[in-house]
Amino acid sequence: MPLFLPHFNIQKFNTLAVPAVANYFVAVQSDEELQEALAFAKTEKLPLLILGGGSNIVLRADFPGLVIHIKTRGLDVVAENDEFVWLKVAAGENWHQLVEYSLDNGYYGLENLSLIPGSVGAAPIQNIGAYGVELKDVFAELSALNIQSGLMVTFTKESCQFGYRDSIFKQSLKDQYVITTVTLKLSKMPRLNLQYPALRAALADIPGAEVSPEQVSAAVVTIRQSKLPDPQQIPNVGSFFKNPIISVAQFEALKLQYPQLVSYPVDELHVKLAAGWLIDHAGWRGKEINGVRVHPDQALVLTNPGKLEGKLILQLADRVVASVREQFGVVLEMEPRVYPE
């Protein structure tokens, strides 16, 4: 039976370092312990928070329920052919350690996703992405436990309905499953994705044909460390807002007014805007309100240097959203999830 800790402060378990107390906290190291934790929550009628690295949540207040910290371990090659390996990874493994493990073993495809904080089990929730690659590009399938029925279910790539920072687990199946393993299809041959301009620029000194996956990973790590604050030093959750997707008509009207507007094509009808550019040009970069800050080097990141309450972070976020809406007519959506809802 895992240890249920009552009245537990989860400040060290969220990268915004928000002080918040959970009614109960339990760390689970196996599927059996997970089942026992879920049974406890059912008996005690406790709401659940499934927690990985806590790098994509904002605690608005104390959590009146059970926090289940997923700490399962394991990496196994479950199939392979001449070209690919299928690597099955436990949800509790650390994402960046998985990237390093894959490179050490000559399994390629994760290099652009280097240094994203958090656990493997959380990666499918928002289809993590960076530098032109998303989880879905290397995803094969996942196993997840249905919280109500206790049954283990396999989800294929199609059934996960991955989108930009989105999946079925944030939509129709929200809060219904705990992901227990993720299987990735990785290439035995390097297949580099250097479409992202900052990445190409960082590797410009190396002739294209000689660039290795290890060098791509190292370049991603360097770029990220230069742009993003380390949560250990300055608490944050990375991008606080998603890049908004708007219609081409709205984009063209905005572009007339703001010729420098930063955007990325989506499809014939839609354009994605850089949320950081909008926040910066609404005058928020570096601003601090009640001790919570818009990061001076990257306006998309809100930081909590004083390790203050989550409601102060949400108040700043509300003000940023209101001012971007007023100036550009664009509504920003938060990327991290707020608890309790």
Measured CA to CA, the distance from residue 102 to residue 64 in angstroms comes to 39
Site residues for ligand FAD, 3-22, by CB under 6 A, read 15
Torsion on CA atoms 5, 7, 8, 10, rounded to nearest 10? 140
Phi (first) and psi of residue 338, to 5 degrees? -95, 135
Q: Does residue 239 carry a catalytic annotation?
A: yes
Of the residues 57, 67, 300, 317, which one makes contact with ligand FAD according to CB under 6 A? 57
Of the residues 87, 178, 246, 254, which one makes contact with ligand FAD according to CB under 6 A? 178
Q: Does 28 bind ligand FAD (CB under 6 A)?
A: no
Q: What tokens were used for 326?
A: 């007023």
In terms of DSSP bridges, do strands 84-90 and 177-187 run parallel, antiparallel, or are they unpaired? antiparallel
3-state SS, residue 252: helix
Of the residues 2, 41, 55, 114, which one makes contact with ligand FAD according to CB under 6 A? 55
Among residues 177 and 251, whose Cβ is nearest to ligand FAD?
177
Q: Which stretch binds ligand FAD (CB under 6 A): 123-131, 189-197, 209-217, 302-310?
A: 123-131
Q: Which stretch binds ligand FAD (CB under 6 A): 25-33, 76-84, 116-124, 200-208?
A: 116-124
Site residues for ligand FAD, 222-251, by CB under 6 A, read 228, 231, 236-238
Binding residues for ligand FAD, total number by CB under 6 A: 32
Q: Does 70 bind ligand FAD (CB under 6 A)?
A: yes
Among residues 233 and 257, whose Cβ is nearest to ligand FAD?
233
Of the CA atoms within 13 Å of residue 312, those in its CB half-sphere come to: 18
Q: Which stretch binds ligand FAD (CB under 6 A): 101-109, 118-126, 196-204, 253-261?
A: 118-126
Q: Does 311 bind ligand FAD (CB under 6 A)?
A: no
Q: Does residue 83 carry a catalytic annotation?
A: no
Q: What tokens were used for 131?
A: 């530098």
Among residues 254 and 301, whose Cβ is nearest to ligand FAD?
301
- Considering the complex, what minimum distance in angstroms separates the CB of residue 14 from ligand FAD? 7
Closest CA to 236 of 335, 161, 156, 148: 335
Q: Does residue 335 carry a catalytic annotation?
A: yes
Residue 4: partners with Cβ closer than 8 Å, 6 or more residues away? 24, 25, 26, 37, 40, 66
- Considering the complex, what minimum distance in angstroms separates the CB of residue 251 from ligand FAD? 23
Binding mask 131-160 for ligand FAD (x = CB under 6 A): ------------------------------
Q: What tokens were used for 237?
A: 């959750």
DSSP letter for each residue of 119-183: BTTTTTTTT-EETTEEGGGTEEEEEEEETTT--EEEEEHHHHT-BTTB-GGGTTTTTTEEEEEEE
- Considering the complex, what minimum distance in angstroms separates the CB of residue 73 from ligand FAD? 13
Q: Are 197 and 175 in contact, with CB atoms under 8 Å apart?
A: no
SS percent in the chain: helix, strand, coil, step 5: 30, 30, 40
Q: What tokens were used for 168?
A: 């079925």
Among residues 160 and 282, whose Cβ is nearest to ligand FAD?
160
Q: Does 130 bind ligand FAD (CB under 6 A)?
A: yes
Closest CA to 187 of 75, 74, 82, 76: 82
Binding site for ligand FAD (CB under 6 A): 15, 49-57, 70, 91, 116-119, 121-123, 125-126, 128-130, 178-179, 228, 231, 236-238, 337
**Would you name the residues annotated as active-site residues?**
165, 239, 335
